[in-house]
Amino acid sequence: MTQYLILPGLGNSGPTHWQTYFEESSPQFKRVQQQSWTEPVCAEWIANLDKAVLEYDPALVVLVAHSLACSTVAHWVKNYNRTIKGALLVAPSDPEADIYTFPAKGFAPVPLDPLPFPSIVVSSSNDIWVTPDRARHFAEHWGSEFLDIGAAGHVNADSGHYQWEEGLEILKRLG
């Protein structure tokens, strides 16, 4: 049975975020906890991700990443070289952009190595944390399917994505 690991970005995903809805929808969803949600350190985030993946058969794991967690997945692949069932990478923020001034350590530059598993990058045309061209750039280098869902903000609760049934439908493509 597929195990979905929820990977929130900076600040975690609050009670009205679609990731929380996914997590509460089925015991197959589990959130990967991090030491710091406000001052993330990439090495810690990828170590916690690896530990969570190894709690299951990696061939049955699908990652469900949002924002900075998309970069986390790219760093995890580069450092741990594990193969999983797939990854849904939603609204990948760009820690290399000038607008990204958060205290996040070790996430830039974002690895551009191909991911060794199926993946889908979901992007919005008006996300302030990544330009559409940069999101497409990530998808192309990672070997991901690219899906532009139009003007959807950062695809979070602030942009009205609470239950996000469309996201669950997209996720079905991976597992």
**Cis peptide, bond prior to residue 109, ω within 30 of zero:** yes
Looking at domain 3-172, its CATH superfamily turns out to be Alpha/Beta hydrolase fold, catalytic domain (3.40.50.1820)
pTM for the whole structure: 0.95
Q: For 85-132, what is each residue's pLDDT tens digit? A: 999 999 999 999 888 888 899 999 999 999 999 999 999 999 989 999
Domain residue extents for the chain: 3-172
Model confidence band, residue 164 (pLDDT cutoffs 50, 70, 90): confident
Element (H, E) at 88: strand 86-90
